[in-house]
Amino acid sequence: MVSRKTVGLDRELVSELRSVAVSRGMNLVSYLRKLVREAVELERRGYYAPRALSEKRFEYLLKSFNFTYIPVDILGNSLSTDSLKVARDFGERLGATLKELGIDVYDFIEFLGNSSATLIYEGDKVIVAPVSDGRRLTAELIKGIALGGGLECDDRGIFIIKVPKKVMERASKAVEEELELRRGRKGVKEFS
Q: Are 22 and 114 in a shared domain?
A: no
Q: What does the pLDDT look like over 117-152, one tens digit per residue?
A: 888 888 889 999 888 777 888 888 999 999 999 999
Structural domain including 31 reads 12-40
In a domain, 48, yes or no: no
Least confident stretch, 20-34, 94-108, 174-188? 174-188
Three-class DSSP category at 157: coil
In a domain, 55, yes or no: no
pTM for the predicted model, two decimal places = 0.65
| pLDDT score of 186 more than 60 | no
> Cα separation of 82 and 79, whole Å?
8
Q: What does the pLDDT look like over 5-47, one tens digit per residue?
A: 888 888 998 899 899 888 888 888 888 889 999 899 888 888 8
Say how many C-beta atoms besides its own lie within 10 A of residue 61's C-beta.
17
Q: Are 21 and 101 in a shared domain?
A: no
Total of domains in the chain: 2
Q: Are 150 and 75 in a shared domain?
A: yes
In a domain, 180, yes or no: no
Q: Are 75 and 136 in a shared domain?
A: yes
Q: Are 20 and 110 in a shared domain?
A: no
